Amino acid sequence: MSNATHDDETLGELDALYLRRAIALSAEARRRGNRPFGAVIADAHGRVLAEASNRNGESGDCTAHAEVNALRLAGPLHGREVLAGATMYASGEPCVMCAGAIFWSGIRRVVFGIDAVSLRRFRGAVGRQQDLELSCRQVFEASPQRFVVHGPCLLEEAAAPHEGAWET
């Protein structure tokens, strides 16, 4: 995974800290019966604005992805100027819905753990577990604003909570 190595090198100390927190949240989500995804939003000064995990299983809400849940917490509390300087840390590469939500939030920097292609190895061949084969970068490239995206990062750590999590 040469990409992972490359992007790991671009991570700052706080980036690694918050991505690891998002990964820890992904493991927590799994323990509570959800798909293993977590997200942390931090502002330009490294202050955490929100953190959340996937709640699909608990809530029955198919939109309850970690990134969307974190945005729903951060949005009402912080202005768009704050979010414009913020970073979304996601344990897994944001899906098309979450990439769209990140676009609408004004957040323009994303750091993610396991990439969508690697995730598909865990999702297996079960139809309802298949995702839309569009990377978050393709969504962001369609934006009139410039995004900075780092990922996959800490791939092995980010993949660990997915081991055996997609068999049902």
Write out the two tokens for 82. 């704050």
- Judged by CB under 5 A, the stretch of 6-14, 45-53, 89-97, 120-128 that binds Zn ion is 89-97
Reply yes or no: is the peptide bond before residue 152 cis, omega within 30 of 0: yes
Active site residue 13: no
Residue type, 90: A
Q: Based on CB atoms, which residue is closest to Zn ion, 78 or 94?
A: 94
One of 23, 25, 64, 95 touching Zn ion (CB under 5 A):
95
Quick one: 65 or 109, whose CB is closer to Zn ion? Answer: 65
Question: What phi and psi values does residue 37 have, to the nearest 5 degrees?
Answer: -140, 140
Nearest to 68 by CA among 92, 42, 39: 39
Which of 65, 78, 108, 109 contacts Zn ion by CB under 5 A?
65
Binder of Zn ion out of 39, 42, 98, 154 (CB under 5 A): 98
Can you tell me the distance from the alpha carbon of 27 to that of 21, in angstroms, rounded to the nearest whole number? 10
Binding residues for Zn ion (CB under 5 A): 65, 95, 97-98
Residues annotated as catalytic (active site), given as ranges: 67
